[in-house]
Amino acid sequence: MYEHFSGGVFSDQLDGGRAGAEIVLTASGVSARVPDGQSFAIPYRECNVEICGYNGRMVFCRDSTRTVTIFCDDRKFARELSTASSGTLDAQLGDALQRVRSQSRRGTLVGVVSLAAILLFIVGCYFGVRYGAKGAVHSLPISVDRQLGKTAFSSMDLGGPEVKDPAVVAAIQKMVDQLKPHAAIDGLDFEIHVVDSEELNAFCLPGGVIVVYTGLIANAENPDQVAAVIGHEMSHATLRHGLERTSQSLGIWAAVSLLIGDATGLIAGGADLFQVAVVNSYSRDQEDAADKEGVRMLHEAGIDPASMAQFFKIMEAEHGDMPELFAWISTHPQHADRIASVTATVDALPERQYTPLDIDWQEVQSKVKDVAKTTKGDR
């Protein structure tokens, strides 16, 4: 009983040089019959064996003149060839199998290395584009900041009515006017909005739209402390943190757009992002930078920068871990860390005489209380 396999033959004697064949392993050699009836035989003593092919298991049996090649990719063919040849071809089969395994290992290694290289390339490109986009943000004209800030503000729910009382608005305006000449960049036209809300909060949108909540005014002991908070928020705008945060949130395609000089997607997408409190989700590094820049602005404006740390200490002492009401504090880094960092920054400043802001703070806080009472009455 001889083992039969399906395979093929390569030979110049065949039309086209190749044909399918039925292969039989006899006691003397490998034979094959093609559909047109031609037969080919290779004695085991003259057989040269190779194993290769697309699947790594194709067995090629060639005669000594290499004019006839019988091949088969059946999984059992190599084993049955060894048995039928009574071990005559075992050395060749062993060497061939060893080469296949070595090639497979090399192929796997090359594949792993190639995949790792591709992944490193992709990661490198990703961070390269993101880093490049960060630089591109700072090369954009200030008009982009203004357009983004105004677009976002026009559709924001501020959580309360805007306060129009002249004394309250004038007090905040005075703080901004004193800080503005010392901003890190020119061209920001800071626009004040005071909102009646118990929320202890303030923020500055890209381009300089500033929102101050009456809860912040009511809880501060003096105007310098509110100025310190406003200085911090103005710093986010002057350091262009809003644009950075927006480009990061919008992802790689926004970064690519920025690199080619197209800021339309940044403005459109950024306006939506600011609806979900992107102003209260700056990174820790951005918050630290805004603290330090705020301290610098206060110092140069002649407002005691220690008032920033004082305000943090008051909130920490009175409100502990900060209930949700005090949103401005709760969305920023931990009290102790900020107090220590701000204090160290202030201590490193050159000596200077600071003049308290000339604002009747009791009157301002009284007006704020009156506004709150009126608002509650209207409800």
Q: Order of strands, edge to edge, in the sheet holding 209-213?
A: 191-195, 209-213, 202-204
Q: Are 58 and 69 in contact (CB under 8 A)?
A: no
pLDDT tens sequence across 209-267: 999 999 899 989 899 999 999 999 999 989 888 767 766 555 554 555 555 555 565 56
Residue 120 lies in a domain: no
The residues with which 20 forms a beta bridge, in sequence order, are 8
DSSP state of 38: -
Asked whether residue 302 falls in the same domain as residue 158, the answer is: yes
As a whole number of angstroms, the distance between CA 330 and CA 300 comes to 28
Helix, strand, or coil (residue 95): helix
Asked whether residue 249 falls in the same domain as residue 173, the answer is: yes
pTM for this structure?
Answer: 0.61
Last residue of a domain, one of 100, 125, 150: 100
Q: How many CB atoms lie within 10 A of CB 40?
A: 22
As a whole number of angstroms, the distance between CA 369 and CA 377 comes to 12
Q: How many CB atoms lie within 10 A of CB 132?
A: 14
Residue 118 lies in a domain: no
Which of 212, 209, 208, 211 has the alpha carbon at shortest distance from 188? 208
Domain assignment of residue 216, given as a range? 140-378
Q: How many CB atoms lie within 10 A of CB 112?
A: 10
As a whole number of angstroms, the distance between CA 182 and CA 159 comes to 31
Residue 76 has pLDDT above 70, yes or no: yes
Asked whether residue 164 falls in the same domain as residue 259, the answer is: yes
Asked whether residue 74 falls in the same domain as residue 177, the answer is: no
Residue 30 lies in a domain: yes
pLDDT tens sequence across 251-302: 554 555 555 555 565 566 555 656 555 455 677 888 889 899 999 999 989 9
